[in-house]
Chain A
Amino acid sequence: AQRVTQPEKLLSVFKGAPVELKCNYSYSGSPELFWYVQYSRQRLQLLLRHISRESIKGFTADLNKGETSFHLKKPFAQEEDSAMYYCALRGAQKLVFGQGTRLTINP
């Protein structure tokens, strides 16, 4: 079975501080992990995926198979980063989402 856990429902940090949104997964096969973001009153959109190993808007995420984690990080938070973030796992051709973390960046 596929399962994604985001332990923090809410996360609040000050502008300029580092941010880490935690994501752990459970899947017996080889997973594909994603981070999706939903800004206020906008639709869900892909932020990044582990296969690409890219940095989007200053965010990075590394897949750690040993710890079954895919934490999202940014060294210096910006106010525009305030949004809802969902970690997702694709296995068996379907996406399973975590509960989401609402990130608030305080000025």
Chain B
Amino acid sequence: GAVVSQHPSWVICKSGTSVKIECRSLDFQATTMFWYRQFPKQSLMLMATSNEGSKATYEQGVEKDKFLINHASLTLSTLTVTSAHPEDSSFYICSALPGGTSTDTQYFGPGTRLTVL
């Protein structure tokens, strides 16, 4: 089946530093990947839609300069949290949509827990 991985699974960083999270589709090519954010005991909130080879589309209220998204290949999208602050601490989840098929099922990664001290 389609598998999506995320790296790292958890990260702790100091306030003011930048953190990069990777999302990979392991056995399929993903023309579109999505980045979600989940606060404790809350739902997944879509942050942005990432399309291979083009700029990401950010949801309203999400700072594109703070959350940099790069989708340079059909199997990799990265989310960089720049100048992280404690309020950025959250669970970040990506999902990938297989390209070139009729399916519109998104496959989710296991998530990355970010803690900013």
Total number of residue pairs linking A and B with CB closer than 8 Å: 32
Can you give 9 A-B contacts (C-beta < 8 A)? A43-B108, A43-B111, A86-B43, A93-B49, A94-B34, A96-B46, A97-B44, A97-B45, A99-B42
Name A residues whose Cβ lies closer than 8 Å to a Cβ of B: 9, 42-46, 86, 90, 93-100
| Cα(A104)–Cα(B64), bound, Å | 39
With beta carbons under 8 angstroms apart, the residue of B4, B49, B93, B109 that contacts A94 is B49
Q: Which residue of A lies closest to B44 (CB)?
A: A97
Inter-chain contact B44/A86, CB cutoff 8 Å: yes
B contacts with A, residue count (CB < 8 A):
18
Given A43-B111, A95-B106, answer yes or no on A100-B43 (Cβ-Cβ < 8 Å): yes
Q: A44-B108, A86-B43, A99-B42 given. 12 additional CB < 8 A pairs?
A: A43-B108, A43-B109, A43-B110, A44-B95, A46-B105, A46-B106, A94-B46, A94-B49, A95-B106, A97-B43, A97-B45, A99-B43
Interface, chain B (partner A; CB < 8 A): 4, 34, 41-46, 49, 93, 95, 104-106, 108-111
Report A-chain residues with C-beta under 8 Å of the C-beta of B105. Answer: 46
A86 CA to B4 CA, complexed, in Å = 19
Chain B residue with the shortest CB-CB distance to A98: B43
Min distance, Cβ A47 to any Cβ of chain B, angstroms: 11
| Complex alpha-carbon distance, A31 and B15, angstroms | 41
Q: How far is the CA of A9 from the CA of B43 in the complex (A)?
A: 11
Give bound CA distance, A46 to B105, whole Å: 8
Closest to A94 in B: B46
Chain A residues contacting B93 (CB-CB under 8 Å) are 44
A95 to B104, CA, bound (A): 11
